[in-house]
Amino acid sequence: MSETQKHTPRIIISGGGTGGHIFPAVSIADAVKQLCPEAQILFVGAEGRMEMQRVPAAGYEIKGLPVAGFDRSRPWRNIGVLLKLRRSMQLAKKIVSEFQPDVAVGVGGYASGPTLKVAGKMGIPTLLQEQNSYAGVTNKLLAKQAQRICVAYDGMERFFPADRIMLTGNPVRRSLLSEAPTKADALRKLSLDEGKHTILIIGGSLGARTINESILGNLPLIRAQREVQFFWQTGKYYSASIAEELKGRGCPDNLHVADFISDMPAAYAAADLVVSRAGAGSISELCLLGKPAILVPSPNVAEDHQTKNAMALANKGAALCVADADARRTLLPLAINTVTDAQHLQELSTEILKLAKPDAAEEIAREVLKLANK
């Protein structure tokens, strides 16, 4: 009998808050189910966050904690945060006691702190999945009791015990490969011109203000391009104001605008170059697909980890990096120069593909099942 068949493993997966945490969590759960279909999986998330909708949509049960992040700019608000944390610890203890997991997995996000802290205290093995090149505060604290820490970048022994680290990469949506159309089909699907170089501009589901302002501030430059077209995801938060501005100023024929892209496999397949924030999930997708990219790290994240993510690629010649403060001035000219340089695109594609870890979810799932069966 194999290790994954000894008994029915019971697994808690905790975390969320953003797609960058939720997609890997669901990918790990799916990989566990492929290896061990009888496994019982329960998610624990934060009330009011996107995991409370996305996880059930993926077919898994989820329970919510009233946990919230600390407000560093308005410290007086943290009294309520501390009360929510205390209540979350109590609820996490109840959830863990009732479900009786064999292993608890933390993927980052508010809920993973209380859940894994409680699990560790109760003697349940824990596994952390650190997506960024600079470890977050919660994972650094939880690492002291974790049996295994799965990471996506070299050099993470700066933050974690070296003997517990496993370099797996970040799990990504397998649909990006399995559902990818040909480039020609993707361009037709998105109503784009097959005879032009294509730049895909994405800022996450809500959008990225600096990237959006870089486009709006360069409409004459965009309009002047005869060989380049732009497919721009504005994000739902900014879509109405951008639509109003484009209505007044006129939208260039080669600028195609969407508030949200539901068919990411087609968007990636159509793109010769991608402009993106530097979240761990986005970077892992770009690596998997071998997409040349210009990364614009968000400055509004903990420990400035997006800049560290981006530089980990830029230092290897695997991507270009533009600082948020410089983007309005330099991003569009750099993107146009890059997308029309076939040799540079090929070099970027070759180097970023070397960093891909296509089997990350399965590797992590195997470790989860090993811990569950101990």
Rounded to 5 degrees, φ, ψ at 273 are -150, 140
- Helix%, strand%, coil% for the chain, nearest 5: 50, 15, 35
Residue stretches of the chain with pLDDT short of 50? 1-5
| Angle, vertex CA 119, rays to CA 159 and CA 53, nearest 5 | 90
Nearest to 298 by CA among 312, 310, 284: 310
| Cα–Cα distance, 139 to 130 (Å, whole number) | 7
Instruction: Return all residues near 217 (Cβ < 8 A) that are at least 6 apart.
Output: 328
pLDDT at 369: 97
pLDDT at 3: 45
pLDDT at 4: 43
* Strand 165-167 relative to strand 320-321, pairing: unpaired
Q: Report pLDDT digits (tens) over 312-335.
A: 999 999 999 999 999 999 999 999
pLDDT at 48: 86
pLDDT at 203: 80
Cα 86 → chain centroid = 28
pLDDT at 17: 75
pLDDT at 73: 67
> Which token pair is 348?
């970027």
pLDDT at 241: 92
pLDDT at 300: 80
pLDDT at 76: 67
Q: Is 322 exposed, middle or buried (0-12, 13-18, 19+ CB in 10 A)?
A: buried
pLDDT at 288: 93
Nearest to 322 by CA among 369, 264, 373, 275: 275
pLDDT at 220: 96
User: Within 13 Å of residue 98, how many CA atoms lie on the same side as its CB?
Assistant: 9
Q: Is 212 exposed, middle or buried (0-12, 13-18, 19+ CB in 10 A)?
A: buried
Which long-range contacts (C-beta less than 8 Å, at least 24 apart) are formed by 95-98?
95/12, 95/42, 95/44, 95/63, 96/12, 96/122, 96/124, 97/122
| Cα–Cα distance, 13 to 26 (Å, whole number) | 9
| Cα–Cα distance, 9 to 310 (Å, whole number) | 37
